[in-house]
Amino acid sequence: MDWLGDDYPFSTTALVGKHAIVCGASKGIGAATAQMLAKAGAKITAVSRNPEHLISKLSGSGHTAVSLDLENQEAIAEFISSIGECHILINNAAGPPGGPLLDNDIEDFEAPFKRHLHAAHTLVRGIAPMMEDAGMGRIVNVISTSVREPIPNIGLSNTLRGAMASWSKTLSSELPSCITINNVLPGFTDTDRLGSLAASINEKTGKSVEDVHSGWMTQVPIGRLIDPLETGAAIAYLCMPIAGGIRGVSLAVDGGRMRSI
């Protein structure tokens, strides 16, 4: 399927008039999500440390790029005060390095939790009132299949993603009725992050990058990596007005890797 061409799977006007903030939008799943939402008509604010090059790839006009350090709470607060309105928030940020959990010191938890859980919480607290005023809000958190089945050799990431999932599920019963919050759980996806994770596992365990990759693929029934645009399509659907009945779920886009129901 031509995900962004003539075979684009959603209405190209479904999100016209909606403003979407996409964190971690410079590459990978974040960039793919921004492209999918823009194709559906949303105005995008692409947030990352280096988001500018994405804007030229987005359908439509009126998109903006904001350089923002998600580990900086003051900068996030300033960003929220500058928004004006927001209908869609995609919480997405770079994950921590791989390796056994017991290899991590307490200090290793600080930066990943700041740019994931702390940043997402600050953004939701600041933006939810805007969504309620608009009568419509969609929040999607990009986390990991490890919230259901912890993945070997990424112990810190497993811990962080589990915290994000519990935070999100709690909010699903607290947010106003017009705002939905859901999680998307990417599997092994063709991104730079997966390559760096394989390299990190190699450094920590001595297993070759090729062996790490082969081990991953033996777990995936479709026998290939997921295209980031496939994940972006799932996220875009959850942001559609028609998806208002979906709330508090964790949707895996993993090619069938997980064995749990």
Say what the pLDDT of residue 110 is. Answer: 97
Which amino acid belongs to residue 43? K
Say what the pLDDT of residue 89 is. Answer: 98
Contact by Cβ (8 Å): 200, 99: yes
Say what the pLDDT of residue 172 is. Answer: 98
pLDDT, mean of residues 199-228: 82
**To the nearest whole percent, how much of the chain has pLDDT over 90?**
71
Contact by Cβ (8 Å): 186, 164: no
Does pTM surpass 0.95? no
* Cα distance between residue 59 and residue 37, in whole Å: 9
pLDDT top residue among 187 and 53: 187
Dump pLDDT digits (tens) for 27-57: 999 999 999 999 999 999 999 887 677 888 8
* Cα distance between residue 173 and residue 153, in whole Å: 33
Say what the pLDDT of residue 4 is. Answer: 85
For the cut 90, the answer to whether the pLDDT of residue 186 exceeds it is: yes
Dump pLDDT digits (tens) for 79-133: 999 999 999 999 999 888 888 999 999 999 999 999 999 999 999 999 999 999 9
SS3 call for 49? coil
Contacts of 11 (CB under 8 A, 6+ apart): 40, 41
**To the nearest whole percent, how much of the chain has pLDDT over 70?**
99
* Cα distance between residue 244 and residue 171, in whole Å: 15
Say what the pLDDT of residue 218 is. Answer: 84
Helices 228-238 + 28-39 axis angle, to 10: 50
pLDDT, mean of residues 55-82: 94
pLDDT top residue among 204 and 221: 221
Residue 118: DSSP 8-state: I
- Rounded to 5 degrees, what are φ and ψ at 96? -80, 165
Which amino acid belongs to residue 115? R
Does the CA dihedral 216-9-64-80 come out positive or negative?
negative
Mean pLDDT of the chain: 92
pLDDT top residue among 223 and 91: 91
Contacts of 183 (CB under 8 A, 6+ apart): 140, 141, 142, 143, 147, 164, 165, 168, 249, 250, 251
Which domains does the chain possess? 19-190+227-249 (3.40.50.720)
| Neighbour count for residue 125 (Cβ, 10 Å) | 12
pLDDT band at 251 (very low <50, low <70, confident <90, very high): very high
Say what the pLDDT of residue 183 is. Answer: 98
CA dist 130 to 83, 84, 86, 124, 198, Å? 9, 8, 6, 10, 40
Which of 3-12, 90-99, 137-146: highest mean pLDDT? Answer: 137-146
Say what the pLDDT of residue 208 is. Answer: 87
For the cut 80, the answer to whether the pLDDT of residue 259 exceeds it is: yes
